[in-house]
Amino acid sequence: MRHVISLLIENESGALSRVSGLFSARGYNIESLTVAPTEDPSLSRMTIVTTGSDEIVEQITKQLNKLVDVVKVVDISESAHIERELLLVKVRATGKDREEIKRTSDIFRGHIIDVTDASYVIELTGTQNKLDSFLGALDASLILETVRSGICGIGRGDRVLKV
């Protein structure tokens, strides 16, 4: 099962390696991991996408909680939540392809944020599925480069992850 784990961690050097080291040492999967400071600069927030049985995910959250620098851990995929990922894709855009790519990008509510006479860079946010679908909709031979951020997640409604 896929799980999305959000955590707050002291924003100190080495904090990221404590988390990633835990995953590699114990053989847990990381599908994606994003991290950045929060509005309180002493804290960083991470979103980790992982897969595993219920027992393994329970161990993952317990082990994360055990890290001395980790302040809070929540498996946000246990209830209603929102996931977003950022995709930047550079495509070859020449001739009649330019119009076609623009149309496809519009359909997915993407933005063309860089234009040359031979290429576009398209920015798109959404769930992992949406980004996958968009890439699928593009002619693969036109894709020059892609970069994805990994997902950020937040709980819906009143649920708040805060110190």
The 128-147 site mask, x for binding other proteins (CB under 8 A), equals --------------------
In 3D, which of 7, 48, 10 has the Cα closest to residue 31?
48
| Interaction of residue 58 with other proteins, rule CB under 8 A | yes
| Interaction of residue 11 with other proteins, rule CB under 8 A | no
* Among the listed residues 10, 31, 97, 132, the single contact to other proteins using CB under 8 A: 10
Tokens encoding 117: 């006479």
Dihedral-angle region of residue 157 (phi above 0 means left; psi in -120 to 50 means alpha; beta otherwise)? left
* Among the listed residues 68, 103, 117, 157, the single contact to other proteins using CB under 8 A: 68
Name every residue whose Cβ is closer than 8 Å to that of residue 115 and which is 6 or more positions away in sequence: 93
> Which residues, numbered 12-41, are part of the site for other proteins (CB under 8 A)?
13-14, 17-18, 21, 25
In 3D, which of 91, 93, 154 has the Cα closest to residue 123?
91
Closest distance to other proteins from the beta carbon of 77 (Å): 20
Instruction: Note whether 137 and 70 are within 8 A (CB).
Output: no
Q: How far apart are CA 92 and CA 82, in angstroms?
A: 32
| Interaction of residue 163 with other proteins, rule CB under 8 A | yes
- Contact positions toward other proteins, by CB under 8 A? 9-10, 13-14, 17-18, 21, 25, 55, 58-59, 62-63, 65-66, 68-71, 163
